[in-house]
Structure 1
């Protein structure tokens, strides 16, 4: 863990949380099984935990943003060999009290629904908007407002396939993760179990312990109830 501080003076802490294969599977089963992806289930759980532990007014508006691949959303789709980023950022908003009290299944369904609504028309509309507004669509630097959470998924990327001559990597992490409110998901330790997930987060230092406890408590409850 690395203790950091954003310009406003709020102390931050970056931490990696490893969840074993059975833990995200338990979340998915609680959210409808195969109908819900690992990304949707984990993101819903993380958003609920963060909204509960952050000191935000219950009536404040919290926003979750994440990236959606548009490689197969465009008409015609991008070529299979297209090299480069092809993503669009979308979001879901709610009052803090709503996310805290809403069922996990419902939150995951909202995230899934937002992803499914991304189509050729929406993508081209977004492109037109950025061109007309002359806005820079690159991600903003620095920490996000406390009411905002941004999730980036690297799940499925072959990050453990690189071998420089001394074997497969043991663990992959971001080189820097000092920007508050950002979450990165990636495959676990490269041990071939095909299901563990590493969650890299940067949050306010005062809530990281409570977030940790809440994150894993839900996994334990779900696994216990399935036995």
Structure 2
């Protein structure tokens, strides 16, 4: 059934904010962090739910409530209903990109689709099945395409016994923190709605839309380009195996204790210990020569590192990547604690001074992130997303989701997407993307697999029943 089943789009519409956007908010300026994402893919994450039994008109009612709650959420997160605009002039020469949030935009796309497969068809295979990519809209779109494509697209796909809500969000508009804050608010509004849809629903945390610029810069950043072809590129993902590995809180605690004991410290975190374990394991599986340089890239949230800190509700992109580096020989000859300390140092030295230096350097010479140029798929590991995001707290009248899944976006060899574990408590799920031969080596690595609790997608801790 899996091989022959394809997603059928049943309906499509565009959702606007419930209320008009005030004139003062109709332009949303982009920061260095936002613009740097122009050539990467949209963020694609979604939640898989079990469909309630014996509920008449369930889908019709659900879609109606999703539509209305989305229109309310978009009023608070109004940049998601806009479109990107490039403004150019010859005298003096200027090239800048911003978001047009005016009320004449069509809004966010909303798709209802069906797929003749079951939850088990998705969760039982060892690898993430390719059909998961079809549960998202805007596959292969890059963020610069937001000039003509919606900045947010929701695809609701009804399965035989389940339902998947897939969200594709333009990364120039927000990062993972912003993505899940939006998702959390949408769920909060949905849950608070009564049967009547003629009233607003107050939200617990208002997004913060004043984007951060260093003193003397902004709100428009003048880019040294004359045409998009000078900086826009399209990364083509290779053929990869994608597999989710589950780590319990207990397993991660053991790795943390081991790393701190070996380096005689108490400063190495759970995430840094797990990152080091994964970095070493993938490098070992690749069978590289000892003199080959390798790196572990970690996405870092800038909000709490600024002085004063940016609000947690800061809506936009406020993330950098830091890298720990070593030769293959150093990585494999030293113990876990030595490697974890490398990751720890890379993360902790990324303070406000480093952030400001990085922004100033970018303003002098803007660099648009390009996976082909800025990441080595033969020796690099990239740890993205965060187990701190509230993923399983999103309920849309169907109880807790059974799984979090991601789409096509930004998958490269050595990419590791981190989710919070279904059972919570500090557990984590890691979706690892590798070439087939390297994945086989990783699966045969007892040192790696002994820390893994569930080796396919169908374990009870992922909620599958």
1:163-218: CA deviations, max 9, x gaps? Answer: 111111011111236422211111112x3x41221000101101213213421235
Gaps of 5+ in 1: 221-227
What corresponds to 2:249 in structure 1? Answer: 21
Q: 1:7 to 1:75 in 2, by over 3 A?
A: closer
**Which of 428, 431, 436 matches 1:197?**
428
Tell which deviates more after alignment, 99-108 or 206-215.
Answer: 206-215
1:165–1:2 distance in 2 versus 1, CA, 3 Å: closer
Indicate how the Cα distance of structure 1 residues 169 and 19 shifts in structure 2: closer, same or farther if over 3 A, else same.
Answer: same
**Structure 1 runs of 4+ with >6 Å offset:** none
Aligned to 1:66: 298
1:176-187 correspondence to structure 2 within 5 Å: 176=408, 178-187=411-420
Q: Distance in 1 between matches of 2:395 and 2:358?
A: 39
49-58 or 141-150, larger mean C-alpha shift: 141-150
Q: Is the 8 A contact 2:247 2:451 kept in 1?
A: no
Is residue 377–residue 412 contact of structure 2 (8 Å, CA) maintained in 1? Answer: no
SS in 1 for 2:356: helix
Flag the 1:24–1:204 CA change in 2: closer, same or farther, 3 A: same
Cross-structure match for 2:288:
56
Which position in structure 2 is the counterpart of 1:224? none
Distance 1:72 1:97, change over 3 A: same
Structure 2 Cα separation of the partners of residues 164 and 141 of structure 1: 38
Q: Is 2:426 the counterpart of 1:188? A: no
In 2, the alpha carbon distance for the partners of 1:168 and 1:147 equals 37
Residue number in structure 2 paired with 1:208:
439
Compute the TM-score of the two structures, normalised by the length of structure 1. Answer: 0.85
For residues 343 and 309 of structure 2, the distance between their equivalents in structure 1, rounded to whole angstroms, comes to 23
**Number of aligned pairs?**
215
Where structure 2 has 5 or more consecutive residues not aligned to the other structure, the ranges are 1-126, 131-234, 454-465
C-alpha separation between the residues in 1 aligned to 2:385 and 2:269? 12
Distance apart, 1:28 and its partner CA: 0.7
**Matched residue, 1:30:** 258
Aligned mates of 2:452, 2:393 — CA distance in 1: 29
CA distance in structure 2 between the aligned counterparts of 1:65 and 1:16, rounded to whole angstroms: 19
**Contact 2:282–2:414 at 8 Å: present in 1 too?**
no
Q: Once the 2 structures are TM-superposed, how far is the Cα of residue 219 of structure 1 from its aligned partner?
A: 6.4
Aligned-pair distance for 1:77? 1.6
Question: Secondary structure of 1:176's partner?
Answer: coil
Asked whether the 8 Å contact 2:251–2:451 carries over to 1, the reply is no
